[in-house]
Structure 1
Amino acid sequence: MLRIFLKEAMHDFERRSGCKLTYEQLAAATGLSVSTLQSIASRAAYNPRLSTISTLCEALDCGPEILLRRTPIKVK
């Protein structure tokens, strides 16, 4: 399963740039709503469009390997 690690990508951006981003600032930079960003950051099963991932990568100046990670699927 691919998961989006938005908070971690935002921390990585801060570390690289020295600029801390809030969800509000990221929303303004991407055109995404704050509630969408919060959902992406907190809901493991959130399924955004590929264009949303691309937009986030552009705003955070990173590749998808920073934002996305494969995690094992938990078998019940």
Structure 2
Amino acid sequence: MSAAWYLLPADARGTFRTALGLDEATWARGRGWALSIALMELGYYRETHPVMADIARTVIREVLLGHTGGG
């Protein structure tokens, strides 16, 4: 589920969620997983892999701004 924040633009996440028929709790868990993974990645890659660190920052930003694609 965390792939929704890693791979999809904000405006496509709602379609993804609807297609999978996910309830609010499942969607919230996916969002939480995306945030936790991105936070760990940022800490790990901040100095060694700028591209991965930027991806992590983008995911964190999307999750915290509430760009969840509905629900």
Q: Which TM-score tier does this pair reach, normalised by the shorter chain?
A: 0.3 to 0.5
Q: Which structure shows the bigger proportion of residues in helix conformation?
A: 2
TM-score by length of 1: 0.31
Identify the structure with the greater strand proportion. Answer: 1
TM-score by length of 2: 0.33
